[in-house]
Structure 1
C-alpha cells in the first residue's frame, strides 16, 4: 500500500470531481498520510483510483482522498481501496475511531463499509 505519484494524485482529484490542489500542495501531502492505497489498471498502466488515511496511529483516523476515475467507477475499485485502508486500521489499531466527510457520490460506498451519519449528535465543521 502506497500513495499514487503526484501527477496521478492531481489527475485523480480533478477528473473524479474532488477539489483541485496545486502541485506544491500535492508534493507535500501525498507522502504524509498514515496509510495510502492506489490501484493501477493492469492493461493500460493508468492509476485508476486512490484513498488515504490521516491519523495518530492509535485511536483517531480520517479517510481522505477517495477517488476513482469516472471511466473506472462501478467496477469495485472504491470498495477494494476502502477495504484495504480499513483492514490496515483494524490490524494496527483495533477499535479505532474512523471518520470521513461524505460527499453525495460516495455515500453508498461508505455505508457499505459501516459508516453512518453522525448528525444530529455531531456535525462536521471546517474552517472557512
Structure 2
C-alpha cells in the first residue's frame, strides 16, 4: 500500500467533500470544524495530499463510544481500505475501553458485512437505532 495513514483531523472541507463523494450526508463547515476537533480518535488515509479514507471515534471516552464517518473515496474502494480503517479504529478501542464500555455504529448499505468481521452484531430485536438530523 502506497498510502499514508495519519491520526489527526483532516481539513474540514476535505472531510465534507469525502463524505459527500462517498454517499454520506453533507455537513456544514462550522459543524465539521467543531466535530472534527472533538473526536476521541481519527484515522485518515491519504494518497499524496488527497484524503481518500477516513474513520472516527466519538463519545465520552469511558462508557460510550461510537464509530462514525467510515468512508473511502469511491475510486479507491475495493482495495481493502475500509478494513484498514476499521483495524485502526479497533486498535484504539482495544486500548481505550473498559469493562462495560458500549461501542455502537450505524451500518449503511453493505457495510454491515465489514463491521461483522470486527465483531459487531445487530441490536435488533433488543433495541432499534433511531436518529434525528437537523437541517
Same fold by TM-score, threshold 0.5 exceeded? yes
Looking at secondary structure, tell me which structure has more helix per residue. 1
TM-score of the superposition, structure 2-length normalised? 0.87
How far the C-alpha of 1:45 sits from its partner, in A, is: 2.5
Partner SS state of residue 45, structure 2 = strand
Q: Which residue of 2 aligns with 1:110?
A: 115
Gaps of 5+ in 2: 1-6
Asked whether 1:37 is paired with 2:43, we answer yes
1:16 and 1:70 in contact (8 A); partners too:
yes
How far the C-alpha of 1:59 sits from its partner, in A, is: 2.3
Provide, for residues 91-116 of structure 1, a one-character-per-residue CA deviation record: whole Å limited to 9, x for no partner.
12244321101111311111111111
Gaps of 5+ in 1: none
Output aligned runs, 1:1-128, within 5 Å.
Answer: 1-41=7-47, 44-95=48-99, 96-127=101-132
Rounded Cα–Cα distance in structure 2 between residues aligned with 1:78 and 1:94 = 25
| Number of residue pairs the alignment of both structures matches | 126
1:3 and 1:50 in contact (8 A); partners too:
no
TM-score of the superposition, structure 1-length normalised? 0.91
Rounded Cα–Cα distance in structure 2 between residues aligned with 1:13 and 1:118 = 25
Partner SS state of residue 104, structure 1 = coil
- Ranges of 4+ aligned residues in structure 1 off by more than 4 Å: none
